Amino acid sequence: MTRANLISKIFEKQTFLCVGLDTDLTKIPKHLLDSEDPIFEFNKAIIDATHRYAIAYKPNLAFYEASGIKGLQALKKTADYLRKFDVFTIADAKRGDIGNTSEKYAQAFLSPDGDFNFDAITVAPYMGADSVKPFLTFSEKWVILLALTSNKGAFDFQFLKDEKNERFLFETVLETSKEWGTPENMMYVIGATQADWFMKIRQHVPDSFLLVPGVGAQGGSLQEVCKYGMTKDCGLLINASRSILYASDGLDFAEKAEEEAQKMQLEMAELLKNLR
């Protein structure tokens, strides 16, 4: 999906909600566990219930790999099912390896000939340029690079200030990686629990889309993130996982997920009004 296409869909659907498909067999409604493929059944119900309110879906690979081959089959079925809808799909895989190996990961998740064919993949920056660039070679596909994450461990390394550049590691990741891609094929993961930092981040990447986890269950505020992070093109994908997926663990789980997604979409529509 091109950037122009993504932006026009955001304004058409009046939403920049990304639904994180962190499908956990220990948390989904018990009645689904008897079906042949509980992960896919759950995902299908969630997608059916929320796609009118969401612009993107982001399965996190860990939740599928935890069920081994079966889990990956459910992931493939989910990726295939998502293609029926006009949504942006993200493999939240946090991959990254030396150049010839990252090429293989790119092939796995982004190639139109592969089993998954996602629009985007999240990538870890630690190994530098040659670990990231192979993901940028597919047309209309995206890298979403980890910059500032929403977890407590973000403070271990991402806030180290280097003496040469006088800035934090996550800022150097932003500045350095701007040379590898463009706002047309690269976004950044920015954890919403650090809303104070959004202004700083926008100095480094004024136009790039930011994928923001941590709104909802992890405690970030949508209003605050938008105040500092929004651009004239929106420039944000806000992810919610647990707050939507597990809004109820009963027979009404899809209905409650829909309500939750719609609530966020309405709030987002208000925020988009300020732009156009």
Q: Which of 1, 7, 14, 97 binds a second copy (CB under 8 A)?
A: 97
> Catalytic site residue 58?
no
Q: What is the DSSP string of 145-201?
A: EEEE-SSTTHHHHTTPEETTTTEEHHHHHHHHHTTT--TTTEEEEE-GGGGGGHHHH
Indicate which residue of 76, 77, 94, 178 is catalytic: 94
Helix (H) or strand (E) holding 106: helix 99-110
What string marks each residue from 174 to 213 as x (binds a second copy by CB under 8 A) or -?
--x-------------------------------------
Does position 124 interact with a second copy (CB under 8 A)? The reply is yes
Which among 235, 201, 223 is positioned nearest to 55, based on CA atoms?
235
Contacts of a second copy in 103-122 (CB under 8 A): 104-105, 107-109, 114-116
Contacts of a second copy in 127-166 (CB under 8 A): 127-132, 146, 149-158, 160-166
Nearest approach, Cβ of 245 to a second copy (angstroms)? 13
> How many chain residues interact with a second copy (CB under 8 A)?
62
Does position 78 interact with a second copy (CB under 8 A)? The reply is no
Q: CA 144 to CA 159: how far, in whole Å? A: 20
Q: CA 254 to CA 245: how far, in whole Å? A: 8
Q: CA 160 to CA 141: how far, in whole Å? A: 31
Q: CA 198 to CA 148: how far, in whole Å? A: 10
Task: List residues binding a second copy (CB under 8 A).
Answer: 22, 24, 60, 62-63, 65-69, 71-73, 76, 92, 94-99, 101-102, 104-105, 107-109, 114-116, 124-132, 146, 149-158, 160-166, 169, 172-173, 176
